[in-house]
Structure 1
Amino acid sequence: MTAPSDESVQPAVAGVRVDVGVATDRGRRDSNEDASLASGGVYVVADGMGGHEAGEVASSLAVEALRPLVGTTPDVATVAGTLRDAHARVRDLPSSSPRRPGTTITGVVLTEHEGVPCWVVLNVGDSRTYRMIGGVLEQVTADHSEIAELVASGLVPADAAARHPRRHVVTRVLGGGASDVRPDVWLFPVSPGDRMVVCSDGLTDELTDRRIEVELRTAGSAQEAADRLVAAALAAGGRDNVTVVVVDATVPRR
């Protein structure tokens, strides 16, 4: 269940230390189409689609396209440009079926802006990034999915979204058939005690945000938190691949 991370490669932001945990499981699927990168300030999860072989290749290619950001302090434009490059690489993958390979991707990159440690949040698709601070969990990314649009427009009640037949239809991916991609990328300061949670929808399909918050409050280290969340998702049904990256940040108080 526990997946490898490279904590020996610390972020390039002065004074910031991180504790990182990574866990993954294929769940009740035949293979695991998720991929993750957790090293040197880059913490992302990708959830591939297009058939198990194509999905695995798409998600792995996407996270590898972000590896040049490891150990750097990129700005928002650099991260967005790297995501567009990842989109082009995935889109160029050969396809033996009408459904072209694609992948979601979400996460954070630790950087510095005007001397202040910051997170660059990135997202394409319906995998999610959360932030917990002071014991309170909040979703910081917006799902790119049909059901999210229906809820936002008031056509579907929020409490019915988890059961809606269109809940897994994504509206933005890396790769797929679109010639370009519009990634969500933005910046906000790191706060002391930030716990960032990056996950595929195998977690959020099985656990409510409230349950995720409870598990995070119970866990000590980042690795314990990642392991607990994956175990809870499997116990709740584990119908899909589930991958979780947890990042605890320690920063000097200003």
Structure 2
Amino acid sequence: MTSLYLDYGYGSHVGLRRELNEDSSVVTDTLFAVADGMGGHEAGEVASSLAVQTLAEGWDAAQGLISRREIQQFIDRADVRIREATDSKAGTTLTGAALIEAENELQWLVFNIGDSRTYMFEDQELVRLTRDHSQVQEMYESGIITAEEIHNHPNRNVITRALGAGEVFDADYFSAPVNAGQRALICSDGLTGELEDGEIAEILGRGESAQETVDILIQQSLRRGGRDNVTVVVVDVKEEQQD
């Protein structure tokens, strides 16, 4: 008889060009998220911190028994807290994945606001589960720029949806089955702004532990320039043999 369990690693670095790390993350037994704040000095840090703190508090109060409805309630609560704390002068991205039970089976519930990303690596294939809410994503989808031009476009950091700022802060939701051997990656654009998906997939496929993989991804993003704060969470779905 087998059962599944999660092994995970996480890390964050200010990068090589920023004075302040405005990224935040939350890692629980079944809920993982990354937020990338933006705003005036320290305001972005406040926004991202409040986003993940509200998620963590909600998850804890619900004793981990959450669904899409609860996640949206946490997000709505975070939006209000950020606007009150920063006088609506700061915002944050928010993306992550929660392990939930739906239709009598385990599922990943993935949520996203902004341009931080959640991926799934399975059978040596990397699939992005989220869609960026960004100006360059819209330009790419309209055929104005190529995928290669996204990385160095002057508007690459302009997002079209944020938590705590602007008029649109609803999350997109995605679901995925839970399988042994999966590796989930949740990260800020400090990683994806420096590394192509193919490079990320190669590192994820090396067979290193979740924490070792996080450390390698962060170091590689710094070697490529480290233009932004970089935060990475890797979650492995593993199989445990039982007698």
TM-score normalized with structure 2 length: 0.92
2:101 alignment counterpart:
112
* The one of 39, 52, 60 aligned to 1:50: 39
Amino acid at match of 2:79: H
Q: Letter of the aligned partner of 1:63 in structure 2?
A: V
**Corresponding position of 1:60:** 49
1:153 aligned residue: 142
CA distance in structure 2 between the aligned counterparts of 1:213 and 1:129, rounded to whole angstroms: 13
CA contact (8 A) 1:105 1:127 kept: yes
Paired position in structure 2 for 1:242: 230
Equivalent residue, structure 1, for 2:59: 69
Report how many aligned residue pairs link the two structures: 236
Structure-2 separation of matches of 1:219 and 1:60:
32
Which residue is 2:122 aligned to?
Answer: 133
- Residue 197 of structure 2 is matched in structure 1 by 209
Q: 1:88 aligns with which of 80, 89, 96?
A: 80
Q: Offset of 1:15 from its aligned partner?
A: 4.0
1:182 CA drift (Å): 1.5
Tell me by how many angstroms 1:147 deviates.
0.8
Q: 1:59-94: CA deviations, max 9, x gaps? A: 110001101224413222221222122112112223
Partner Cα distance (2:121, 2:226) in 1: 24
Partner of 1:221: 209
Which position in structure 2 is the counterpart of 1:10? none
Segments of structure 1 that go 5 or more residues without pairing to the other structure are 1-13
- Give the match for residue 233 of structure 1: 221
User: 3-state DSSP class of the match of 2:205?
Assistant: helix
Percent identical pairs in the alignment equals 43
Structure 1 residue 144 and structure 2 residue 149: aligned?
no
The 2-side partners of 1:183 and 1:252 are apart by 33
Instruction: Give secondary structure in 1 for the equivalent of 2:211.
Output: helix
8 Å contact from structure 1 (residues 76, 187) kept in 2: no
Measured against aligned partners, the alpha-carbon deviations of 1:200-222 in whole angstroms (never above 9, x if no partner) come to 00001111111111111124210
Aligned equivalents of 2:3, 2:84: Cα separation in 1: 40
Structure 2 match to 1:3:
none
- Alignment of 1:26 with 2:14, yes or no, is yes
1:88-119 CA-to-partner distances (Å, cap 9, x unmatched) read 21122234xxx811100111011111221111
Mapping for residues 3-18 of structure 1, pairs under 5 Å: 15-18=3-6
Q: Which moved more, 1:76-85 or 1:209-218?
A: 76-85
SS at match of 2:227: coil
Q: Distance in 2 between matches of 1:190 and 1:91?
A: 35
